[in-house]
């Protein structure tokens, strides 16, 4: 029997599942900081929602914790990286709120179109102003959806029932997979230019933060209304407020904000804006699903079984020989996606050495999981990674060989002219990147890296080092790989901070530099 600490309200059905599994459920709501650390003494599992902050300080201060369960999707309040270092599994409930989020999107869209909250406040305040709150119909209007994952598709289905024309942008979805939804796939600018209503369903990543900015809003169809029930920070709130004041944007309905919780935003002063305090998942049904799902995942983790919705440690019943390589495989997928900048049509995953002699399906899924995690809004797990890859038209092919080459074991990813290899090195089995584009390198994957392809001639290392150093960026590690012909080289710099776009641009303009890519894995 294990003790499960629960610090926030979850569905009673989930608590009952834990008790039926023979575990002690310890309800202590409202814990954080030192109080949380004290309460975790002797606990094997922790279940939270969004208010409990499972920080590095908390995780560094405790022992014996096996799993942290988040009864919902987002993991902003859990330091997953630190949990992984401590061997603590982190699980969530990624499918629990899809319907609720889609319905809230439609509720906000309709409320915005018909000025419902504003008219309500006016009327209960003593004013009868029918003419002031004239709205617009949604029938025969164009709805633009940016991000066509599970929630985006549910919104498309519901919008179609209201007689809306639906256009969408998602470079990671193949049209064949949404053919039955009657959606026109366009590029982002076309969607923004054509949409009467624009709704966002994206993950918050370095690529999507500030996506809806002043520049994009300037291209919007006049009178457009914007809905965001995805993640805060995707919309530049100040730029949106300015666009509404100028009349370019007719209004907005916003459920999520760059900083949460918050009671201040430039949008709050505008009567054309409808806001809610992150209610996308706040339904009885979603919370019931989240509670039951997270209890099931925690039970599996405590039993040492395969855990489908683990987000960091998930090796299930994989062969012992492949288990240490699963985190490496996922990291290679992340780096490959960052270097490619897009999802490949075909991805070859090659296992050589001892890893080429055993069942490598889990490691292959880990590669796909790492690749997709950078670009899709939904949580990617070992259960849905394969399906998501198919939906996005990725043909993943595995090549296995017991014959080793330069290292005892390697995992190699290839697509088009991009290639990447990794291995585990030394007694500590440290992850290493050992090849990029058939240039041998040797560097530990870092949160921030700079990959430079250049002519193989004197002075190139000094050139790159000087420009990076002049920008105030510290280089923690560096490796240079030369091709066999001696005409080109690849430099990989691990840095202590992100390399800005200005540095990348300056480097790319230098003679002898063939390409420059900044890789940020946070």
Q: Which positions are catalytic?
A: 231, 260, 278
Query: DSSP code of 54?
Result: B
Q: Which residues contact 7 (CB under 8 A, 6 or more apart)?
A: 28, 29, 30, 31, 36, 39, 46, 47, 48, 51, 52
d(CA 424, CA 459): 32
Closest Cα to residue 379, out of 326, 315, 309? 309
CB neighbours of residue 427 within 10 Å: 5
- The residue behind tokens 């880990």 is 366
d(CA 1, CA 192): 55
d(CA 102, CA 163): 17
Q: How far is CA 464 from CA 340, 394, 490, 498, 502, in A?
A: 21, 35, 12, 15, 13
Tokens of 410: 């390697």
d(CA 2, CA 45): 8
Rounded to whole angstroms, the maximal C-alpha distance in the chain is 82
Which helix H or strand E contains 161, and what residues bound it?
helix 150-161
d(CA 40, CA 6): 10
Q: If phi over 0 gives left and psi between -120 and 50 gives alpha, with beta otherwise, what is residue 43?
A: beta
- The residue behind tokens 């919705």 is 309
Strands (E), 344-425: 346-353, 395-401, 409-415, 418-425
Strands (E), 461-520: 475-482, 488-495, 513-520
CB 253 within 8 A of CB 112: yes
d(CA 375, CA 389): 12
d(CA 355, CA 343): 25
CB 381 within 8 A of CB 94: yes
CB neighbours of residue 110 within 10 Å: 15
Tokens of 411: 């995992």
> CA triplet 396, 398, 402: central angle to 5 degrees?
165
Pairing relationship of beta strands 184-185 and 448-455 according to DSSP bridges: unpaired
Q: How far is CA 185 from CA 147, 157, 354, 373, 500, in A?
A: 11, 15, 44, 22, 32
Question: Using omega within 30 degrees of 0 as the cis cutoff, is the peptide bond preceding 261 cis?
Answer: yes
């Amino acid at each position: 029997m294990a003790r499960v600490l629960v610090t926030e309200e979850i569905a009673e059905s989930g608590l009952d599942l834990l008790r039926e599994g023979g575990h002690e459920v310890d309800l202590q709501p409202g814990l954080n900081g030192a109080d949380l650390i004290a309460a975790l003494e002797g606990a094997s599992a922790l279940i939270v929602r969004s208010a409990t902050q499972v920080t590095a300080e908390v995780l560094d201060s405790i022992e014996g914790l096996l799993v942290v369960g988040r009864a919902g999707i987002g993991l902003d309040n859990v330091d997953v990286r630190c949990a992984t270092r401590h061997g603590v599994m982190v699980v969530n409930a990624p499918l629990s709120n899809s319907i609720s989020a889609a319905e809230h999107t439609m509720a906000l869209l309709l409320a915005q179109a018909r000025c419902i909250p504003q008219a309500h406040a006016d009327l209960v305040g003593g004013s009868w102003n029918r003419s002031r709150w004239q709205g617009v119909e949604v029938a025969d209007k164009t709805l633009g959806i940016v991000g066509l994952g599970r929630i985006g598709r549910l919104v498309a289905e519901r919008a179609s029932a209201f007689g809306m024309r639906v256009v969408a942008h998602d470079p990671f979805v193949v049209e064949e997979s949404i053919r039955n939804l009657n959606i026109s796939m366009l590029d982002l600018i076309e969607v923004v230019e054509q949409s009467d209503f624009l709704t966002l369903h994206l993950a918050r990543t370095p690529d999507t933060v500030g996506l809806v900015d002043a520049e994009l809003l300037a291209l919007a169809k006049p009178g457009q209304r914007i809905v965001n029930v995805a993640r805060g920070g995707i919309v530049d709130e100040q730029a949106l407020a300015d666009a509404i004041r100028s009349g370019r944007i007719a209004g907005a309905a916003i459920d999520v904000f760059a900083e949460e919780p918050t009671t201040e935003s430039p949008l709050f002063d505008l009567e054309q804006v409808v806001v809610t305090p992150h209610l996308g998942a706040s339904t009885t049904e979603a919370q019931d699903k989240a509670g039951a799902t997270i209890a099931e995942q925690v039970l599996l983790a405590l039993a040492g079984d395969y855990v489908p919705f683990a987000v960091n440690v998930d090796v299930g019943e994989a062969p012992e020989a492949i288990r240490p390589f699963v985190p490496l495989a996922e990291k290679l997928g992340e780096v490959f996606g960052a270097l490619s900048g897009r999802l490949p049509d075909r991805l070859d995953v090659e296992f050589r050495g001892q890893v080429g002699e055993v069942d490598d399906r889990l490691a292959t899924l880990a590669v796909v999981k790492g690749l997709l995690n950078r670009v899709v809004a939904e949580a990617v797990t070992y259960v849905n990674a394969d399906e998501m890859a198919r939906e996005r038209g990725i043909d993943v092919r595995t090549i296995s060989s017991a014959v080793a080459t330069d290292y005892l074991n390697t995992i190699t990813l290839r697509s088009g002219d991009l290639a990447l290899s990794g291995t585990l090195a030394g007694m500590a089995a440290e992850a290493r990147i050992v090849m990029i584009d058939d240039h041998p390198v040797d560097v530990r994957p870092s949160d921030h890296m700079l990959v430079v392809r250049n002519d193989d001639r004197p002075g190139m290392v000094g050139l790159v080092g000087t420009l990076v150093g002049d920008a105030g960026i510290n280089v923690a590690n560096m490796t240079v790989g030369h091709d066999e012909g001696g005409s080109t080289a690849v430099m990989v710099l691990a840095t202590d901070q992100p390399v800005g776009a200005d540095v990348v641009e300056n480097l790319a303009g230098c003679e002898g530099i063939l390409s420059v890519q900044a890789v940020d894995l946070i």
